[in-house]
Amino acid sequence: MKILVIHGPNLNVLGKRNPSIYGGKSLGEINKLIEKKAKELGFEVEIFQSNFEGDIVEKIHSAIDLEYHGIIINPAAFSHYSIAIRDAIEILEIPVIEVHLSNVFAREDFRSKSVIAPVCSGQITGLGLNSYLVAMDALKLMIK
């Protein structure tokens, strides 16, 4: 089974960006944990990061032809306003789980609204890097 993990804007500076909210691990360290978990679950995983909305949309579109079985996406700030990413996810016929490192509901009001969540299979927030790992367990149960 092949899954795609997408990291959105500013996640490339994890470890440097407000560690009290996002944790002290770098994106590279998180990716290694994702790869380890994928191996445990029998997944083949591709990991992608971009600070650009159009690149993320195109990567989601690639899931149509590349036969992914599921997607985990941390759209970061794009979750609050990207109708383009929402529409790209809505096209898919595979499970998509939105994740966030921080508890977006315990932060500024604007962070509690996701335009992406309604077209996803689920949303996991506030578990730090474990949000990704829990999402992988969930995908394992959802993929037939």
Q: Of these residues, 22, 68, 69, 132, which one is catalytic?
A: 22
Is 22 designated active site?
yes
Is 100 designated active site?
yes
Q: Of these residues, 7, 68, 100, 132, which one is catalytic?
A: 100
DSSP string across the chain: -EEEEEE-TTGGGTTTS-HHHH-S--HHHHHHHHHHHHHHHT-EEEEEE-S-HHHHHHHHHHHHHTT-SEEEEE-GGGGGT-HHHHHHHHH--S-EEEEESS-GGGS-GGGG--SSGGGSSEEEESSTTHHHHHHHHHHHHH--
Crossing angle of helices 83-91 and 53-65, in 10° steps, is 0
The catalytic site residues sit at 22, 100
